[in-house]
Amino acid sequence: MLSARGLFEEILDNDESFQLFCSIAASGEAQGGWENGRIAALVPEGMRDLAPKIARHGADEDKHGRIFHALLKRRGLPPVDIPPATDYTMLLEQRGIGLPHDKLRRNTPLTEQDVVVYLSHSRVTEQRAADQMEMLVGHFGDHPLVGNAVKIISADEDNHLAYCHEELLRLARLGHGRTIHRVLQESARAEVRIYRDVSFAVMDRMGRILGWPRPKSALLKAGIAGLYGMERAGGWRRMVSLSMPERRDALGGPATAAAF
């Protein structure tokens, strides 16, 4: 019987699949670091109190990218170019989720609306990241190679999610509630489709590397399709609810170093 732990053990035990896995993860984290760094630099004057928290978010993402590169280095493996179909962050941008990169490359200050859109999009994608890292910690928190890495990243993702909840609730009280509700719903519905498509692409590539038989690949694809069906039917709603987190001001200090 297939299990998440068994699949990830296969991926971790093979150099080529491990190389692709870490390269995909590092690429996404580096992109997130760049995006948050640019947003922090362009925050409008009336919202400058958010800039240090956004910068901290970006610094955490950069740190995660370095962690995945360090994992590759420990195995004596270089990073590889990732297939476009596995590039989650690029596909999100292409679907109009988040802030366009051409806007972030300019030196024109963002608007309050832009920041609300950014935080709403982040609340959705950080939910996905936090869920994935929680699963990896549950299965591999004690793994000699990746255990420490997944625990560090998981703790950061929990902080990022708490920060999104708290700041969006604050902005809703300031009159942005309607925009937040709309963007959360649009982002979540698009994200579950993109996550499905990326999952298909990643599993297809892993299957070719690891030589999975057709029945196994078909079963995995059916599982991905089933998860998408559940998320499309209502599971996406977990990505749009807002509640005050237990940990307040989760990004209120400098980024923590990775003891890795």
pLDDT digit string, tens, across residues 167-219: 999 999 999 999 999 999 999 999 999 999 999 999 999 999 999 999 999 99
Compute the average pLDDT of residues 65-70: 97
Per-residue pLDDT of 97-135, as tens digits, reads 889 999 999 999 999 999 999 999 999 999 999 999 999
Looking from the CA of 215 toward its CB, the CA atoms found within 13 Å total 2
**What is the tens place of the pLDDT at every residue in 9-49?**
999 999 999 999 999 999 999 999 999 999 999 999 999 99
In a domain, 257, yes or no: no
pLDDT band at 259 (very low <50, low <70, confident <90, very high): low
* Domain containing residue 198: CATH number: 1.20.1260.10
pLDDT above 60 (res 1) = no
- Provide the domain count of the chain: 1
Average pLDDT over residues 140-157: 94
Residue 245 lies in a domain: no
Residue 105 located in a structural domain: yes
Confidence of residue 255 (pLDDT cuts 50, 70, 90): low
Instruction: Identify whether 246 is part of a domain.
Output: no
Can you give the residue range of the structural domain that contains 175? 4-239
- Looking at residue 5, its pLDDT comes to 83
**Whether residue 253 has pLDDT greater than 60:** yes
| Residue 96 within a domain | yes
In-domain check, residue 255: no
Virtual CA dihedral for 61, 64, 68, 71, nearest 10 degrees? 160
Residue 94 pLDDT exceeds 70: yes
Give pLDDT, residue 96. Answer: 86
Q: d(Cα 14, Cα 161) in Å, to the nearest integer?
A: 32
| pLDDT beyond 90 at 4 | no
Kindly tell me if the per-residue pLDDT of 258 is higher than 70.
no
pLDDT one-digit tens code per residue, 225-250: 999 999 999 999 999 999 999 999 99
In a domain, 171, yes or no: yes
pLDDT greater than 90 at residue 70: yes
Asked whether residue 260 carries a pLDDT value surpassing 80, the answer given is no
Residues 76-89: pLDDT tens digits?
Answer: 999 999 999 999 99
Is 247 a domain residue?
A: no
